[in-house]
Each structure stands twice: as C-alpha cells, then as structure tokens.
Structure 1
Amino acid sequence: MNILHGGNLMTRADSVMGMFANSFSHTKILTGRIDNLTFYKKSYVGDHIRFRVTLLKTSRMTMTIYAEIEHVSSDWSQIELVGEA
C-alpha cells in the first residue's frame, strides 16, 4: 500500500508552520494548537509534498497560520491539494 500516514503529514505541517512563525517573530515559539487538519486525497511514500503557509492574523502573543499540503508531480507540471490545516 505504501500510504503515507496522516500523522506524518501533520508532524511535518506543524514543523513548517513553526519554522515560518519563528522566522516571522524572530524569537522562540511553540504550537499552541492545530484546530483542524483536513485530508482530501491519499499521499504515498515517495511522493513529492509541498507545504505552503500563509499568515492570517497576529496579536501580541499569538499567530494564526494556514497551511496547504500539496502533491507535486516530479516535473512540477501537476499540483494538487492533498490537505490543509
């Protein structure tokens, strides 16, 4: 089957969002919570996965970040949304 476990994608999405938040705030940060993670398609071991993050909102103590998880073909000709958080 070689289906990529959803927890693996969630861990990677959390890491990418954390790196983004850290570069934005220039200080140490931590994930308070991930409210929602929705998967639309299966991903397989060996797939090329791209994470795109967007800063939606900031306050003095928090950030709200949106992440898209995309499957990218090896020649970058096709990109499809696999999930979002």
Structure 2
Amino acid sequence: MAQAEHLPIYKASYDLFLCLEQVVRGFPRYQKYTLGTDLRDGARRVLRLVVRANARRDKAPVLLEIREEVEELNVLPMSGHPCQRCVPGIRALP
C-alpha cells in the first residue's frame, strides 16, 4: 500500500483535523460534546477515506465519499462560528 502522507489532499485533510481540534478545545462544554464530537469524527473520517482512496485502484467512489463528508462538515458549524475559518479551506479537495 502506498503512503498517503505526501498527497496534497492528505495534507489539507490533516490541516483541517488539526484546526478543528484547536477550535473545538475552545468550545463551551455543551458544544464540545455535541458539535465538537461531530466535527472531530468527521475530520477523522476524511483522513481515513483519503488513505483508503490512495490504496485503491478505482479511487472515484472513495473520493465521492470524501466530498460528501466534507460537505457535511461545512453544514455542521453555525454561520459565524469560529470553525468556519477551518472548514472552507478544505473545499480544495476533489
């Protein structure tokens, strides 16, 4: 299996994960365990999907899953919430 760490999509996904971790740490307790959990889980799913896509010959179906997951991450935060600064940066993903 090829390593995914060198891929721009992996680097962008990892940056998203790190950014969301920092943002969620500043959430009030209730949001940390509701919205924060969803954001963290979604960012981890994107990373796992990138690794899965890299290992497959037919990458298109997994890349579509990545796109769907990123769109869900874009919907989760409320407008104007601090994590808005992280999520739009991931739009460069295919």
Whether these two folds match at TM > 0.5 is no
TM-score of the superposed pair, with normalisation by structure 2: 0.28
Which has the larger helix fraction? 2
**Going by fraction, where is strand more abundant, 1 or 2?**
1
